[in-house]
Structure 1
Amino acid sequence: MNNPFHNPPPVEDCTPVMKKTILEIHAATQAPLGMILATVLFDMTLSVQNSIDVRRPNGSQGPVSTIMTVLADSGERKSTVANEIFSAVEEVETEENKKTDQEMEGWKIQSKLHAEKLKGVLAAIRKAMTKGKPTEELDVLYLKLVMEQPVKPKRIRVMFGPDITLAALKYALYETGSSVAIVTDEGGEFYKSNAAIDYPFLNSAWGGVGPKVSRRTSESFSVPDVRLSLLQMVQNALFQEHENGRGSMARASGYHARGLICRPASTQGFRWITAEQILRAATPVFTARVKALLRENIAHVKAGTLERIVMEFSPEAAIQFNQTGNRIEGMLQPGQPLCEFKDHASKLGENIARVAAVLEYFEYGPGPISADTLRRASEIVQWFSSEFQHIFGPGAQVDSFMSDINKFGIWLNSCTQREGKAVFEKSWVQRNVTFSLRGKARLEPILDHFVTTGQIRYIQDNKKTMIEVNPAYFQIGLFLHYRV
């Protein structure tokens, strides 16, 4: 379903390198601008989330990590955009894996040598004890060797795919230095994971609170200070199906309120092939910055020297931030835009602060968040907020139902063309209709709509209920008026 709410993404309000990178990738892929903006912002967040925190003017301090959801149907080039933007992350991970492989070989050799030294000292202690000789010096040597046990190298992974389980995700946070991201350009795969519906864990991780895992058969562990970001690019129908099923608690739990969500307008039908050469000036600068930030952070994690930089607001930006908070508060009053979205509004200020810190540090480095950067962050988050209101607002159910009607009409029209007939058993329709529309609760309201509008009617053939289509409606292209 395309987005009828034409709300252009605030590309002009992005910081300079970010803006130029978005426009270059858009020119190369012709994918929706909003999808590119969201993915670029996520990549920036991923690259800095373990290096910085943000302190808001009221003194509260926390992570800059994000939960990002992009609704885009098949053919919108989600994978193309993801592959382009996250190539730098994958390059760093590949080179890091090679380094770790070499370090692991060295560790194995050192561990064997160390084990032999321990055996030798223990043998000497036993021999001395047998002969009644003192062992104090050998005891000290043995304890010294125990304390000098070679440390197994950490295998740092920055980015995980959609198939990660909840247990594997928690252990990854423990093993890799407490900071990871999950990225999926096919969100339906992530929805199959038990990690996708553990909203208490995901909500806590968004706030920086890590898991405590107690085990009976292996080592228990806890991660007190985590950084977890999540990007899901998912088709509209799969998102709606998940929300109506396994993900029904996502909104009620506050998961969606914490995140940034968008449904960018489609570019399909307007992606013209030209001979124009696309200049790539900003994209190499952007990818180089991503790689530099990740390499620097990984080096600190492996050396045990990580200390996150706290990004604070300049005096002017602090005043502006408080004014923004007051405007948001005013919009919660009856009849105001955020009156029905209090859960979402409660996290807007924090999301603005997080995005502002990411923009400032990525583009300009350490230093106070300027009023200009805060303004840009506010515009970006405001766009995501308007998308949230449209997706979850009063008209959302109507949009979803009209989308279902459109799908059913297209499917039934294809059946009449393929089968060359206008009468079908209702039970056959129930079994063979588009998968996302199956089930009585989903299909019956659609059939009722088609009966009411005269496009189909029920007839009885002995004990069988048959569906007869109205030939006046089922002709090629006639269902275009349902598309939204």
Structure 2
Amino acid sequence: MMRGEKPARQPSWGRVPLEPKEASNKHNVLDPIPGLPFEVFTEAVDEVQRNIKAPRELGVCSALAIMSLVSQGLYDVKSPLGNVCPLSLAIMAISGSGDGKTPTFRALSASVFKYQEVILAERDLEYVKYKAAHGVWFEILKAHKSTLRKFVQRGEDTGKISSLIYEHQEKEPRPPLNLLFLNDDVTVQALFQSMNGGLSSAGWMSSEASGILKGGAFQHFDKINSVWSGDGVRVGRVSSESYQVPDARLTLFLMMQPSVFESFNEVKGDVARGTGFISRCLFCRPRSTQGSRIDDGTERGWQACERFGDRAVVLLKEYVDRCRLGESARKVIRLSERASMVWIDIRNQIEREISEEGAYGWAPDHASKLAENMLRLAAIFHVFEGREGDISETTMRASIELGYWFSRQFNKVFSPDTVLENDASELHAWIRSKGEWRIDKTYIRRHCPNRLRDSDRLEEIYEKLVCDGLIRLVLEGKKGVVILN
């Protein structure tokens, strides 16, 4: 090339134009669920993951919910400190549309729902017989009362007919037991109403809980907390008779989309956290598997899920049969000596981390319930897997590991650092979606996702994005401008 000549222009193909950097959220790193030494449970979860290819976390949470439901009516667990705890769990799974929430839950709960249908059909037949028997009883009572009136009018002795009426009233046929134990779209009041005079152990479960969380159904956190703690619940009424369910047990399992949870958290989060409801829950927020669910055409088998379902129905049938006989006392499970030492050591470790400088300084409410949730998990695995005697050290250690995994998920959902990082990622993605390199801060405050529009919150997010090297803030006159890096 001669001096003074410009170099020939190079072809543009193969060159990728520079684009703004994407935000990387360190809290979205993979945190797989630990392997657990429980055969029936693990094989069923493996099968669901293999066949449906949904996030494994959804299978684990669905299985735990069913296991809690079928165990809580038969057993309690006694901690090494002497207090007796229910085996009830409260689980909330946050996962996007199309992630496989409903198919996963359906695969693991199918046998339980089928058993529900069977016993409700039996109850309907019993109720028809009850109505006929009660009709006959009532007509006889009317006849006795008519005779009593005649005796009174004539001034005759009423002692014999009065005794006859008392005896007859004691023979009044009782309606068959309400055998509903699975509830979906109900209010808290309707839920406890169904447990009054029926099965005192129930589940409130939904694989699409938007209707429950958005509507007025999900209220009275104090009553849900009371049942979780094993204290029972009293429902006071003005227009009708109040009632009490002193021995209630409730498993709560709600799956929801992220937007539904964020809306719930924005409206009711402070109350739910302040009353202690959130601290009692086990949370999970898995990564989506969409885009990687490649099928090889192999026929799917469901033997492990059938085995899981058969075990669940055995426990449920035992509970229902005992309730029909009027037997309500539950067996109390204890930890072995070595398992007790392990649990006490972990409980003390968690307690030490509740200080302001500790790992749980930001969430003492969550930490205060963590060791008990680990204890409940151990008892549930012990019962469901058919283990004999006291809870073993192996079962306790595995449940502690799973409990810590749920604790990390809680951190992923609620810790201030995580919330700020998620908000920053969301705002950065929104700015990028506008297709501009620069954008006015005033425009952002007016048009960005609604929950991010608070001015003080936006300044925190800007500071975070600047520190991450994703944006620059400049002043153009009096106007603040965000420039993508």
1:5 aligns with 2:29: yes
Q: CA deviation at 1:291?
A: 1.3
Question: Separation in 1 of the partners of 2:194 and 2:178?
Answer: 10
Q: Check whether the contact 1:3–1:265 (CA below 8 A) recurs between aligned residues.
A: no
2:410 to 388, 395, 401: 388
Change (3 A) 1:124 1:441: farther
Q: Which residue of 1 aligns with 2:82?
A: 59
Moved more, 251-260 or 375-384: 251-260
**CA deviation map 1:41-98 (0-9, x unaligned):** 1110011111111111111002111111112112211111122222122112111211
Q: Which residue of 1 aligns with 2:56?
A: 33
Moved more, 384-393 or 365-374: 365-374
Question: Separation in 2 of the partners of 1:446 and 1:329?
Answer: 31
1:82 aligns with 2:131: no
Change (3 A) 1:37 1:112: same
Q: Secondary structure at the match of 1:13?
A: coil
Change (3 A) 1:99 1:442: farther
Q: Which residue of 2 aligns with 1:402?
A: 424
Gaps of 5+ in 2: 1-24
Question: Separation in 1 of the partners of 2:180 and 2:456?
Answer: 41
**CA deviation map 1:252-273 (0-9, x unaligned):** 3322221111112221221111
Q: CA deviation at 1:394?
A: 3.4
Q: CA deviation at 1:324?
A: 2.0
Q: Which residue of 1 aligns with 2:196?
A: 174
Q: Which residue of 2 aligns with 1:118?
A: 141
> TM-score normalized by structure 1?
0.84
Change (3 A) 1:251 1:315: same
> TM-score normalized by structure 2?
0.84
Q: Secondary structure at the match of 2:205?
A: strand
Q: Which residue of 1 aligns with 2:116?
A: 93
Summarize the alignment of residues 5-404 of structure 1 with structure 2, pairs less than 5 Å apart: 5-10=29-34, 12-161=35-184, 163-333=185-355, 335-364=357-386, 367-404=389-426
Q: CA deviation at 1:231?
A: 1.1
Question: Separation in 1 of the partners of 2:482 and 2:348?
Answer: 56
Question: Separation in 1 of the partners of 2:297 and 2:369?
Answer: 45
Q: Check whether the contact 2:199–2:323 (CA below 8 A) recurs between aligned residues.
A: yes
Question: Separation in 2 of the partners of 1:396 and 1:348?
Answer: 20
Q: CA deviation at 1:192?
A: 2.2
**CA deviation map 1:331-390 (0-9, x unaligned):** 335644333332222111211111111110111156321112112211111110121123
Change (3 A) 1:399 1:89: farther
Q: Secondary structure at the match of 1:189?
A: helix
Question: Separation in 1 of the partners of 2:359 and 2:452?
Answer: 35
**Fraction of identical pairs, as percent:** 26
Greater Rg over alpha carbons, structure: 2
**CA deviation map 1:421-442 (0-9, x unaligned):** x999x899957x76x5586669
Q: Check whether the contact 2:188–2:219 (CA below 8 A) recurs between aligned residues.
A: no
Gaps of 5+ in 1: 417-421, 474-480
Q: Secondary structure at the match of 1:119?
A: helix
Question: Separation in 1 of the partners of 2:107 and 2:130?
Answer: 35
Q: Check whether the contact 1:78–1:185 (CA below 8 A) recurs between aligned residues.
A: yes
Q: Secondary structure at the match of 1:310?
A: strand
Question: Separation in 2 of the partners of 1:319 and 1:272?
Answer: 46
**CA deviation map 1:91-144 (0-9, x unaligned):** 121112111111111011001100111122223333444555433232222111
Change (3 A) 1:396 1:469: closer
Question: Separation in 2 of the partners of 1:447 and 1:319?
Answer: 45
Question: Separation in 2 of the partners of 1:193 and 1:51?
Answer: 33
Q: Check whether the contact 1:47–1:294 (CA below 8 A) recurs between aligned residues.
A: yes
Moved more, 26-35 or 170-179: 170-179
Question: Separation in 2 of the partners of 1:182 and 1:366?
Answer: 29
Q: Check whether the contact 2:423–2:461 (CA below 8 A) recurs between aligned residues.
A: no
Question: Separation in 2 of the partners of 1:95 and 1:456?
Answer: 68
**CA deviation map 1:178-202 (0-9, x unaligned):** 2222112223322124342432222
Letter in 2 for 1:317: A
Question: Separation in 2 of the partners of 1:354 and 1:448?
Answer: 43
Q: Secondary structure at the match of 1:194?
A: coil
Q: Secondary structure at the match of 2:254?
A: strand
Query: What is the number of residues matched between the two proteins?
Result: 456
